[in-house]
Chain A
Amino acid sequence: MNGFEFDWIAIAPFLILSVLGFAVVVLGISFPKMYRGTLGTIVLVGFAVAFLASLQSWDDARLAFGGMITADKFSSAFSCIFILGATLTIGLSINQVEEKYLLYSDYFALVVFATAGMTLMASGTNLLTLFLGLETLSIALYVLAGFRRSNEFALEASFKYFLLGAFASGFLLYGIALIYGITGSTDLTKISAYVSSEGILGSKMFFAGFLLLLVGFGFKISVFPFHLWAPDVYQGAPTPISAFMATGSKAAGFAALMRFMIAMQSTTQSGWQDIIWVIAAATMILGNVIALRQSNVKRMLAYSSIAHAGYILIGVLAGNTIGSSGIIFYLLTYTFMNIGAFGVISYLSTAEHEFITLSDFRGLASSRPFAAIAMAAFMFSLAGIPPLAGFMAKFYLFSAGVKAGYVWLVIIAVVTSMISLYYYLGLVVQMFMRDKEADVAATAPLQPAVMIAISIAMLAILILGIFPSRWVSLFQDLARSLM
């Protein structure tokens, strides 16, 4: 029993983020009048430290707390993605939180705590650690979703997210209980050993537990049929938080799902592939088709984010090194392009007028060229048009799917991404080829922090799109170390 040895280094990102969160709370209650930029800068410095700490475990894999925590290349890469996403989220929020929402120190602290939960999900190799991370993340997000307390959409978002999220956590816990009952452990390596000797279908109770866990993770990554909360919640939440949920929270869900699925792989045919196949296909079709009909850009992005979860599932299904590295590359890319797209909305919105309907974007190219060009770049990247990163990300995932023999699923993916062109480019057409209506001129003041965040995201999708091979070979090293 060496469970009481504290390995500080293995959980360094988590510890740094937790301490940062508490520091923000203390600062918030001690200096209520502190300038939001100062507090934001403190948070960003803390994120930089946590980022360096996450990089630490890339070359130095270690198992800690009796196997509850594994700090390896996987957790390192994912933690970096989460922290990048959170950094951009803070960048989008700095100019907004004071005038639009009160209590910005609470807002920052909750974002930091959510990020801490995410890092725990990426490094957890025990179902209980994964659950702990997921709850830390979720509880912070429930509050953040309803941060505009006087807005009825925000209340709906928070309430719906909390109720459904609580149910999903219940499913997850019940699944963990059943799996524990059969295998006698919540440790993923022990569960993996059970699966390779008995198979997933070896015991009905184990299979039930497996399905319940899939429901729990499926809710977090918002795949069909557990996607219903996403559009309402993304619409009602503050725009930077919608971005944070669509990227960071989804990436964290995928991190946990990948850890779990790698444990579920056995030498024999495991029996879960068909389930994931159907979920992936349905998610891609449904997300893209419903997105066609949305006139609210935030809802459109929500359905598009559902569809993207479907694409990423192809990588989970492929289960090979290209698939796993493809997922991580996709999530990295997706973090930049989606936060960028939500960022443009938040850049254009004012306290009185949220800039979210398609008609708001009409003729934006002449009144706000920077925002229009940025939004067009993110839309092209989300649609997967070269040379932007979205194209390379899809390319790697789909080729992994073909290599693993899922040709039909990849055909569905390609066809649905062509459908998605319609609504992504529809927004671009509105911005560049339509004249603006008189009364919806963008009046939001220029916000430097948001502009910087959007520029970083644009630069990132260009670099990742033009020079992807360096990153992909890094992620392939990672994937090989997992298998």
Chain B
Amino acid sequence: MEKLIGLLIMIAVGVGLALVFWGLNRLLGPKSPNVVKDVPFETGRAPISASGRRMAVKFYMIAILFVLFDIEMIFLYPWAVVFRDIGAVALVSMMIFIAVLVLGLAYIWKRGALEWQ
């Protein structure tokens, strides 16, 4: 617990400092409201469309595929740490795991999930 007190103080000071600066700015800064200031900045030009646009579903596909194949990393790191202790069984297990993943990759490739059409 004592170790954490330092951390707590640091968090308190950090948040406090930010609040102080923000408050001082609100109190002392000059104010001149203006319609143009409320417009989102878009390289200096007037915005041409609303920001909440519909996204193509293919982005979602890429994202989910990324997550799927990124997860394997989580398994590879602890495996790499204990690999020497376990030996051949670890190697074979991981090869089977990777083979399943490769099969998955082949599947999505064949099914055209990687094509951007």
A-facing mask of B68-81, CB < 8 A → 1, else 0? 00000000000000
- Cβ 8 A contact of B111, one of A4, A22, A26, A29: A29
Range, interface on chain A: under 10
Residues of chain A with a CB closer than 8 A to B107's CB: 25, 29
Q: Does B103 make an interface contact (CB < 8 A)?
A: yes
Interface positions of B from 69 to 117, Cβ below 8 Å from A: 86, 89, 100, 103, 106-107, 110-111
Residues of chain B with a CB closer than 8 A to A29's CB: 106-107, 110-111
Range, interface on chain B: under 10
How many angstroms between the C-alpha atoms of A6 and B92 in the bound complex? 11
How many angstroms between the C-alpha atoms of A422 and B111 in the bound complex? 48
Cβ-defined contact, A25 with B103, below 8 A: yes
Residues of chain B with a CB closer than 8 A to A22's CB: 100, 103
- The prevalent SS among residues of A at the interface is helix
How many angstroms between the C-alpha atoms of A22 and B89 in the bound complex? 22
Cβ-defined contact, A26 with B103, below 8 A: yes
CB distance from B89 to the nearest CB of A (A): 5
Cβ-defined contact, B89 with A4, below 8 A: yes
CB distance from A65 to the nearest CB of B (A): 12
Q: Give A22's nearest chain B residue, CB to CB.
A: B103
Cβ-defined contact, A4 with B86, below 8 A: yes
How many angstroms between the C-alpha atoms of A6 and B93 in the bound complex? 10
B-facing mask of A1-44, CB < 8 A → 1, else 0? 00010100000000000000010011001000000000000000
A-facing mask of B43-71, CB < 8 A → 1, else 0? 00000000000000000000000000000
Interface positions of A from 392 to 409, Cβ below 8 Å from B: none
How many angstroms between the C-alpha atoms of A4 and B88 in the bound complex? 11
How many angstroms between the C-alpha atoms of A4 and B89 in the bound complex? 8
Interface positions of A from 276 to 316, Cβ below 8 Å from B: none
A and B contact pairs by CB, cutoff 8 A, 12 listed: A4-B86, A4-B89, A6-B89, A22-B100, A22-B103, A25-B103, A25-B107, A26-B103, A26-B106, A29-B106, A29-B110, A29-B111
CB-based closest 9 A-B pairs: A29-B110, A4-B89, A29-B107, A25-B107, A22-B103, A4-B86, A29-B106, A25-B103, A26-B103
